[in-house]
A = this chain, B = another copy of it.
Amino acid sequence: MSEVKFIDNGSVTSTPGFKACGVTAGLKKSGNPDMALVASDVPANFAGVFTSCVFAAAPVRVCRKLVRSCATAKAFIINSGNANACTGAAGMANAEKMSELTANALQITDSAVLVASTGRIGVQMPMDIIEKGIKMAAGTLSCDGGNQAARAIMTTDTVPKACAVSVEIAGKTVTIGAICKGVGMIDPQMTTAPHATMICCITTDAICSNALLEKMLADNANNSFNRITVDGDMSTNDTCVIFANGVSGVDLDANADDAAKFQTALLALMQNLARKQVMDGEGATKFVAIEIDGAPDNAAAKLCAEAVANSLLCKTAWFGCDPNWGRIVAALGYSGADFDPDKVDIFYDDMIVVRQGGDAGTPEADLARILQNREFTVKVHMNQGAGEYWVWTSDVSYEYVKINAEYHT
């Protein structure tokens, strides 16, 4: 297996042949940067996964269409401050107009321009501001603008999120770079057909068909972004897009082993970003991994992991550093999974909490010390099958309530 190397301060522009920028168009009251543009020098193959919300936002619908109808894409325009969701026919026209304005500004005639939006739902996009922003962005693109772009797509995020990795494939270096945002309305279930507002843009210089890109992106989303939850609320706007411009000369369709190496590196990048999202989850003071094994089957394990990860009682107990495992067993018990409760063991990190469905006798003070850590794992060994699943989640704090009682999504 080739080693996956993380690149310092990496982002979408770590990948050769991609430029990016972030600008302030004026969509946010705060006056913070609010539009990002990522562009490939040459037509790039591309693929995307999007929210499964019935109320999918206009930009999501536009991207879905482009993924199906276009062979290549050259740019991705993203705004924060307005989600362009639940905006009807006018919203669709505006999302299409954003794509078109960007194509015009970059003189793109032969490739798709993707579009994504995040921010308040139900408000029409102020197209005068958007138009001005697109012009500014087109004139600001640079080979090291990825981290600026990461900053411009933030909403309740407290830190910009970006990552890049490199991996040796077929004797050459392949780079994968990315930026992403999303720390609230986060429980993505992105699929290739049609969850947070999370938005992620990935760039690579591999040569790869759209079909293979889509398969690798969707498979990896199921093992990264689709495994995280902050609040259990899926968004109308979740979008994760990958561009492959081919400039490395490494052809992933030609060799399954090479594709596997690439997919492993891509997964490392996507998991790194997913972890950053949960770490920066709205008001979060804890990063909690829920790991289920020994379940009757994987579906049961998934039900169990998601019930614990989304339990308001578990999440508030974690905030309180309270080793109250009763709330965990209650969540397992109502998850909808069918299992024998008397076989279940539970650990906090490597310390046993529950043995065979009952108190394991570990002193509460020892357990509390684990829960005082910024990160810990809740391991549930169900001891009745081969099913397994994991989820990353955060706690619910006073700050969470403050952010969400005061902020307009």
Contact = CB atoms under 8 A, between A and B. Distances in A.
A86 interface: yes
A367 B189 CA distance: 31
Count class of interface residues, chain A: 35 or more
A338 B373 CA distance: 41
Contacts of A342: 88
Interface string A176-199: 000000001101010000010000
SS class, residues of chain A in contact with chain B? loop
A354 B53 CA distance: 17
Chain B CB count within 10 A is highest, among A120, A232, A236, A313, for A313
Contact of A121 (B56, B83, B235, B329): B329
Contacts of A339: 54
A330 B122 contact: no
A326 interface: yes
A254 interface: no
Nearest to A358: B88
A168 interface: no
A93 interface: no
B408 A324 contact: yes
Nearest to A231: B312
Given A312-B232, A396-B401, A325 B122 contact: yes
A347 to B, nearest CB: 15
A32 interface: no
A234 interface: yes
Interface string A302-334: 000000001111001101101011110111111
Interface in A45-68: 52-56
B330 A236 contact: yes
Contacts of A341: 54-55, 86
A298 interface: no
A332 B54 contact: yes
Given A312-B231, A322-B408, A408-B322, A330 B55 contact: yes
B53 A334 contact: yes
A376 interface: no
Contacts of A400: 316, 401
B405 A330 contact: no
Interface string A206-238: 000000000000000000000000011111100
A54 B54 CA distance: 32
Interface in A227-272: 231-236
A326 B396 contact: no
B123 A359 contact: yes
A233 B327 contact: yes
A55 B53 CA distance: 32
Given A55-B357, A332-B55, A404 B313 contact: yes
Contacts of A195: 334
A406 interface: yes
A232 B337 contact: no
A231 B396 CA distance: 12
16 contacts: A54-B332, A54-B338, A54-B339, A54-B341, A55-B329, A83-B326, A86-B329, A86-B359, A121-B330, A231-B312, A231-B313, A232-B310, A232-B312, A313-B404, A316-B401, A316-B405
